[in-house]
Chains A and B, each alone.
Chain A
Amino acid sequence: MNILIWIIQIVFIPIMSPLCVGIIRKIKAKLQNRKGASIFQPYNDLWKLFNKDEVISKDASWVFRYAPFVIFSVTIFVGMSVPIFMSFVNNTFTSDILVIIYMLALGTFFLALSGLDTGGAFGGFGSSREMTMSALAEGGFIFSLLTISFIAGTTNLLAISNVGILQHGHLLLSSILAFISFFIILLAENTRYPFDNPSTHLELTMIHEAMILEYSGKRLALIEWASSNKLLIFISLGSSLFFPWGIAGALSLSALLFGLFIFCLKVFIFCLAIAVLESSIAKLRFFKLPDLLLIAFILNVIAIILIF
């Protein structure tokens, strides 16, 4: 049974993540009075890319060739370590907040390296922008997870989701501030509005897309898939750590099914929030972004002050 649980934990994020992207796109289309593509379109896109030939620059080194595999592997590793809809899995090795944060940072590092590797102008400025954003978002991300680990009294993500931070009524304000900050970081790390436009290819504004312009075929598919994995990982962290209601605390079929249902509901609410936000606000100028990330960081500092 344990093996089955681990298999679910490993494959759940990569299987469901394209659907998550599809749902966000569909909601955005509906909000713009468009019919929009099917919510399963990202699966078709991945399938198409996996069956295409690729073109690799003659100047590309091993970094460019292997980075997509590293980035994708990182998201699989992190995906199996975060609490999704069950918290009874005993994982004291990889479920620590620092392991998660730095594994995700490793993925970002390789993505930025691959953008620089071929020497293209777009890749270079994309990597530069990505690293600027990551450096600023890192502090907010660490502090938001640190806030909830202070509240829960542990740095293990599965244990935090077991505790249920909202049960500590006197730390509600800290939890709310940490969540607001986490949500800002979610948007920044996943290059969503107001930090980046995930569907743009305009050189003045793109960040993530600029880094992967040189990729095609299977490697592009892996990067796109990793990117949607990362989004679902952040949504899972947000839903399981800040709203751990319904999460299966014991191994039973009914608890697992209920946990899965509640998790899907929470993911849908997050997708809805992201889609509504993206349809209602404009992208911020790049030089305004540090202010927003600084706000996320300071909100966490206030949250931590209120805990002590």
Chain B
Amino acid sequence: MNILFYTILPEIVLLSIISLHLVKKNSEMVFLYGFQSIAIVLMLFCSFLTTGKLSLLLVTVVVLLAKVILAPLFFNKLILKHKLVFSVKKYVNTSFSLVIIAILIITAYSDKFTSLTNIIPANHASLSLAFSAMLLSLFLIVNSRGALSQIVAILSLENSIVAFAVFAELEQSAGLQIGIVFDIFVWMIVATMFVSMIQKHFGSIDVTSMKNLKD
């Protein structure tokens, strides 16, 4: 249980974010997000088994519903509706993205952030992984050109923050956590509508096409 919770799950989260930088298809991106969310759900479930708080179980179920089932469902429908198969465009090419990823991981592991990753000294390795995941998600947001990939990147950042909070033992009350999940769910619906509108207006979900708005 300890190995799964403290080592394998944060590694899966980080691996999924690295993979999000490499994939070319929107459907693969959505799949990876679902996979990453399963890791988060397992993380919360392990946390519930350790603490025995029923509120955590409730949060786990809500997260499972919102992030693992509903979010991928929404995005897949969006992809099918607008035929958005290959639109995971990036500003920086794959090999240079990986160089930046390596630098970001070195940064996350550097002494500069020890105060942040050493909040709970016993969880230092897991916190470093979660912090790396946060930095990589931020990079994914700024590096993505497609609206859908930007949305997935933002959700991935949220997952990384949840992972960081779990290992830093910063879990809030169940009410607040469910509120956050609900907030994300509403945001997801709004973002989906936003993507549909961009697609309808510009015929593409590439955000760079929005510069035509000034014409």
Interface of A toward B, CB cutoff 8 Å: 169-170, 172-173, 176-177, 291, 294-295, 298-299, 301-302, 305-306, 308
Selected from A172, A176, A291, A302, the residue in CB contact (under 8 A) with B105 is A302
Q: How far is the CB of B154 from chain A (nearest CB, A)?
A: 23
Roughly how many angstroms separate A257 CA and B105 CA in the complex, as a whole number?
44
Q: Which residue from chain B places its CB closest to the CB of A169 in the assembled complex? A: B3
| B7 surroundings in chain A (CB, below 8 A) | 169-170, 172
Between-chain CB contacts (< 8 Å), 19 pairs: A169-B7, A169-B8, A170-B7, A170-B125, A172-B8, A173-B11, A173-B129, A176-B15, A177-B15, A295-B94, A295-B98, A298-B95, A298-B99, A298-B101, A301-B102, A302-B18, A302-B102, A302-B105, A305-B105
B109 interfacial by beta-carbon distance below 8 Å: yes
Tell me whether B15 and A305 are in contact (CB under 8 A). Answer: no
What's the Cα separation between A226 and B18 when bound, in Å? 36
Contacts of B105 in A (CB 8 A): 302, 305-306
Inter-chain CA distance A160–B102, complex, in Å, is 26
Q: Residue B106 at the A interface, CB < 8 A?
A: yes
For residue A144, give the distance in angstroms from its CB to the closest CB of chain B.
15
Q: Are A302 and B98 CB-contacts (below 8 A) given A169-B3, A172-B7?
A: yes
The total of interchain contacts (Cβ-Cβ below 8 angstroms) comes to 46
Which chain B residues lie closer than 8 Å to A176 at the CB level? 11, 15
8 A Cβ contacts from B100-138 to A: 101-102, 105-106, 109, 125, 129
Least CB separation from B126: chain A residue: A170
In the complex, A294→B97 CA distance in Å? 11
Known: A169-B7, A308-B109. 16 other contacts (CB 8 A): A169-B3, A169-B8, A170-B3, A170-B6, A170-B125, A172-B7, A172-B8, A291-B95, A294-B98, A295-B22, A295-B98, A298-B95, A298-B98, A301-B102, A302-B101, A305-B109
Binding site for A on B (CB under 8 A): 3, 6-8, 11, 14-15, 18, 22, 93-95, 98-99, 101-102, 105-106, 109, 125, 129
Q: Is the CB of A298 within 8 A of B11?
A: no
B134: shortest Cβ distance to chain A, in Å?
Answer: 16
Q: Evaluate whether A305 and B106 lie within 8 angstroms (CB atoms) in the complex, with A172-B7, A173-B14, A173-B15 already known.
A: yes
CB < 8 Å neighbour of B94 from A177, A291, A301, A302: A291
By beta carbon, the residue of chain B nearest A294 is: B95
Chain A contacts for B22, CB-based, 8 A: 295
Residue of chain B at shortest CB distance from A308: B109
Q: CA separation between A305 and B8, bound complex, in Å?
A: 17
Q: Which residues of A contact B95 (CB under 8 A)?
A: 291, 294-295, 298
Least distance between A174 CB and chain B CB atoms (Å):
9
In the complex formed, the residue of B with least CB distance to A298 is B98
Provide the bound-state CA to CA distance between A295 and B93, in Å. Answer: 11
Cβ of A20 to closest chain B Cβ, rounded Å: 29
Instruction: Determine the chain B residues whose CB is within 8 A of the CB of A294 once the complex forms.
Output: 95, 98
- Residues of A contacting B3 in the complex (Cβ-Cβ under 8 angstroms): 169-170
CA distance A40 to B98 in the complex (A): 42
* Least distance between A172 CB and chain B CB atoms (Å): 5
Q: Which residues of B contact A306 (CB under 8 A)?
A: 105, 129
Chain B residues lying within 8 Å of A295, measured Cβ to Cβ, are 22, 94-95, 98
The CA of A302 and the CA of B19, in the complex, are separated in Å by 13
Give, as a whole number of angstroms, the nearest-CB distance from B190 to chain A: 34
> A299 CA to B125 CA in the complex, in Å?
19
B-side contacts of A170, CB under 8 Å: 3, 6-7, 125
